[in-house]
């Protein structure tokens, strides 16, 4: 890779960032990424979704690099179909955290992402899955969520919105687990120290690329750590205000090819 490149690593979130509705990537975005790669840059996906929920996206992209998945808990080698790194969440700790949160605000609806390449997303009573195209398994009671190792817990509340649920959960259990908002109706609990920055740092080290050579694109508060790690952060026009507040630039929305606009300027 040439030192003349503006950035040698392009880190992109998926939902609300690179992806359009229906998990699609526009021809313009594909072309802009191809131009950047031809210039010597590398593209790395950094997503909150676990590996089983992004394989179809990576296949459609013809993606063969490393991908940071599960909110930073997983590093996946798409070319070889191998999980290079994975951090599980202690299920006892998860139950303790949920108990403390419910003592504060009443019942929450929960789901989990299990650990592994072919793991399932288990949905507990009351939890609503807002991505109906992604496979899930509904279980009759919460205790069934802990039947196998997990990477994270997802929360919803019958009355509180995402911002308030995140704020309350963080105030109650933020010393025990990492609490983040990953998207609409998607508040998550993960092991301490696990976030997109930690996962991206691990993958970038494997690629031999420093933070100072990385540009990152995102749209939600779970991208804030990634922006803090990368040299330059670009928020989408549809981004959450918390991410906009720490972004170096705001581009067009994901539906308007906001990533392509920036990459065409930098690598065109």
Sign of CA dihedral 56, 57, 60, 63: negative
Check residue 2 and give its pLDDT.
40
pLDDT of res. 159 = 96
When computed from its CA atoms, the radius of gyration of the chain, rounded to whole angstroms, is: 18
Kindly list the distances between the CA atom of residue 21 and the CA atoms of 27, 51, 97, 221, in Å, as whole numbers in the listed order.
14, 19, 33, 20
- What pLDDT, in 10s, does the model give residues 32-81? 999 999 999 999 999 999 999 999 999 988 999 999 999 999 999 999 99
User: pLDDT per residue over 70-100, tens digit each?
Assistant: 999 999 999 999 999 999 999 999 999 999 9
Q: Residues near 155 by Cβ (< 8 Å), separated by ≥ 6?
A: 98, 101, 108, 109, 110, 165, 169, 187, 188, 189
pLDDT of residue 36: 97
**Cα(109)–Cα(119) distance, integer angstroms:** 20
Whether 48 contacts 70, CB under 8 Å: yes
Using left for φ > 0, alpha for ψ between -120 and 50, and beta otherwise, residue 128 falls in beta
Distance CA 26, CA 159 (A): 36
Inter-residue contact 203 to 66 (CB < 8 Å): yes
Pairing of strands 232-235, 249-250: parallel
3-state secondary structure of 267: helix
- Dist CA 259 CA 33 (whole Å): 9
Nearest alpha carbon to residue 66 among 74, 223, 19:
74
- What pLDDT, on the 0 to 100 scale, is given for residue 4? 74
pTM of the model: 0.96
Residue 207, CB half-sphere, CA atoms under 13 Å: how many? Answer: 27
- Calpha distance 169→177 (Å, rounded): 10
Residue 228 and residue 212 in contact, taking contact as beta carbons nearer than 8 Å: no
């Amino acid at each position: 890779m040439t030192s003349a490149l503006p950035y040698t690593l392009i880190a992109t979130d998926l939902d609300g960032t690179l992806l359009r509705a229906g998990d699609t990537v526009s021809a313009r975005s594909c072309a802009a990424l191809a131009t950047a790669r031809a210039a010597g840059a590398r593209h790395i996906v950094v997503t909150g979704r676990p590996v089983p929920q992004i394989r179809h996206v990576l296949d459609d992209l013809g993606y063969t690099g490393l991908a940071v998945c599960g909110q930073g808990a997983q590093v996946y080698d798409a070319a070889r179909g191998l999980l290079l790194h994975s951090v599980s969440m202690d299920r006892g700790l998860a139950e303790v955290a949920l108990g403390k949160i419910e003592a504060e605000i009443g019942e929450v609806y929960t789901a989990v992402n299990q650990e592994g390449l072919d793991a399932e997303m288990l949905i507990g009573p009351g939890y609503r899955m807002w991505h109906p195209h992604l496979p899930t398994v509904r279980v009759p009671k919460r205790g069934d969520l802990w039947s196998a190792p997990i990477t994270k817990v997802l929360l919803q509340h019958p009355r509180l919105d995402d911002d308030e649920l995140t704020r309350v959960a963080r105030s109650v259990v933020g010393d025990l687990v990492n609490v983040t908002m990953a998207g609409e109706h998607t508040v998550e609990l993960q092991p301490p120290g696990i976030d997109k920055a930690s996962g991206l740092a691990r993958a970038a080290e494997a690629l031999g690329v420093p933070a100072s050579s990385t540009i990152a694109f995102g749209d939600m508060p779970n991208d804030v750590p990634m922006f803090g790690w990368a040299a330059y952060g670009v928020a989408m026009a549809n981004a959450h205000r918390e991410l906009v507040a720490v972004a170096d630039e705001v581009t067009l929305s994901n539906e308007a090819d906001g990533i392509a606009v920036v990459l065409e300027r930098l690598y065109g």
